[in-house]
Structure formats: C-alpha cells, structure tokens
Amino acid sequence: MLAQRFLKSLLRLVPAFLVLALAVPLLSACGYNTIPTLEEQAKASWSEVLNQYQRRADLIPNLVETVKGYASHEKDVLEGVVEARAKATQVTVTPETLTDPDAFKAFQDNQAGLTSALSRLLAVVENYPDLKANQNFLALQAQLEGTENRIAVARRDYIESVRVYNTSLKTFPSILWNSLWFGNQPFQNFTVSDDAMQPPKVDFGTQQGG
C-alpha cells in the first residue's frame, strides 16, 4: 500500500518535471540568462578597473618621496599629488556605485584629478636631470607607465561590457525578462577618457627663476 501511494505521488510529479525540462532550454533560448551573464561580465570588468586604480595609488607614496629627495621645494606640486590621491582613495565604492550617477561621477572626477596631478608632477621632473637618472625613480616611472596602460585597457573593456549590458536591458527579448523578472538598472559608464583631460600648463622654469 505504501509503495502504491509513493508511486502515485511520483506519477503526479512527472508533468511538473516535463514542464521544467521543456522550460529550461526554452528560457535559455529566449535570452533569460542573457542579463545575469552580461551583468557579471560588466561587474568583472569594473573590478579590474578598481584593481588597476588601486595599483596606481599604491605606487604614489614612493614616487612622491623619491621626487621630494631631489625637488623638495616643489611643495605645491607634491602636495597636490598627495591630496589628489587622498581624494581618489577616500571615495567609498559600493555595489550601488555602478547604478548611482552621482557616486560614479565622484569616482571618475577624483581619479581624473589624480591623473592631472601626476601629469604635473612628471612635468616637474623634466627640470631635474639627476632625478631623471635615479634608478629608483626610473623603476617607479616604468611601473606607473605600465599601470596607466593597464588602466586604459581596463576602462576600455569596462566601457564595452557596460555598453553591451545596458543595450540588453532595452532590447528584445531580454527587455521582457528584465521588466517581468530582474528589474535591473543600467550601469553608469565613463563619459570622458583621462587622455582627453589636459593638465594645466605650468611654467616651472619661471617659478624657479622667481
């Protein structure tokens, strides 16, 4: 009797299993998995952007100290880099940052400010041949240049992954899944490349001569 009851219960579940077996490939074919897949790719690209910016921030203290040993009187420029680094690293980055225009803009603006401060610092270095020949400085400069290149690549990959993800949120059929099931918001994206931001031109030679 018990075995018969178990068999009947099992038979009642068969239609549900059949529906599930048919639904899973159907959902996949209709793009149900598209949004979460693209979302994870965009988040992974964002993580790489953060990693490379952190790598740059970690190089700056040693770079500033090395320059200070040869150009300690360039106080304003050195302090500018330290302050810009502090602003860039003090911005709190949360998962909500990607969907918050103000938070994302604050992150981008502070990183761009640090890029400009570093450009001014490297302009100062041109006035100090001994510093330019210092092995420690040369090693730091090489690391910084490599990191800037990795930042550019990471940003490019993030921009593209977000473009694809955001497009999926407003195109058929994934737009249906998002409205009925996920409710995801588009991610924020970089609006201007750091390369396009020209640092102010400063005549350091004139300052030194004064």
Alpha carbon separation from 149 to 12, 122, 152 (Å, rounded): 61, 16, 5
Low-confidence ranges of the chain (pLDDT < 70): 1-31, 192-210
- Helix (H) or strand (E) run with residue 89 in it: helix 75-90
Residues 6+ apart with CB under 8 A from 130: 70
Residue 191: predicted pLDDT: 85
Residues 6+ apart with CB under 8 A from 44: 161
Residue 30: predicted pLDDT: 55
Residue 181: predicted pLDDT: 82
pTM of the predicted model over 0.85: no
Residue 32: predicted pLDDT: 84
Residue 28: predicted pLDDT: 45
